[in-house]
Amino acid sequence: MNPLIETSRRSGFSIDDGMIPLINIVFLMLIFFMVAGKISQQDAAVFDAPVSGSQAPLVETDREILMAASGEVWINGEPLMVGFSDWLQANMADQESVDDQLWILKVDAGIEAQELDRLLVPLRESGIRRLSLTVRRSE
């Protein structure tokens, strides 16, 4: 027999008694993650959102463009393999009105602002007016 079990039986407490503090901690961690965390879809790439004092809440939309620190672009979680203008032309041709469409931009704070022109110019040319940049709250 396991000497630990034998000793614990003789001293009058079981192994389970020693596990209770561990279970307490695990339960507390579980409650913390359940209450404080928010389950949401992971971004296609890691990006550091610019800091802003804006209070406008993030609206869920199926039109999301992500530009990572490396300059790579993802659209709705898919990597962009062609030029952005070509992608817009191919995907916007069958859509009648783009006036009400909201596009969410997720851009890394560290990249050069001139890199934004790669996205802003084709979006403007295709008539999209509602454009929001994802920011994080200043601490």
Partner 1 sequence: MCARSNKAKRQYAGRDVVQSALFQRRRTSGIGITPLIDVVFILLLFFMLTSTFSHYQTLDLVNASAADSAIQPVEQVPPLLLVVSASMAISVGDSESKLTEGELQRLLSDSIVDGQIVLVSAGSGASVQDLVSVVEKLKSLGVERLDIVPSVQTRREEQS
Choice between 94 and 108, CB closer to partner 1:
108
Residue 98 found at the interface with partner 1 (CB under 8 A): no
Nearest CA to 43 out of 72, 61, 59, 64 is that of 64
Residue 50 found at the interface with partner 1 (CB under 8 A): yes
CB-based contacts of 20: which residues, under 8 Å, 6+ apart?
none
Long-range CB contacts for residues 41-44, cutoff 8 Å, separation at least 24: 41/77, 43/106, 44/74, 44/77, 44/78, 44/79
Please select the residue that binds partner 1; options are 4, 5, 46, 58, rule is CB under 8 A: 58
* Least distance between partner 1 and beta carbon 135 (Å): 5
* Least distance between partner 1 and beta carbon 103 (Å): 9
Tokens for 95, please give them: 């859509």
* Least distance between partner 1 and beta carbon 74 (Å): 16
Residue 27 found at the interface with partner 1 (CB under 8 A): yes
Nearest CA to 64 out of 109, 105, 122, 95 is that of 105
Residue keyed to tokens 């851009």: 107
Q: How many residues bind partner 1 (CB under 8 A)?
A: 51
* Least distance between partner 1 and beta carbon 3 (Å): 20
Residues that bind partner 1 (CB under 8 A): 16, 19, 22-23, 26-27, 29-30, 33-34, 36-40, 42, 49-59, 104-105, 107-117, 120-121, 129-137
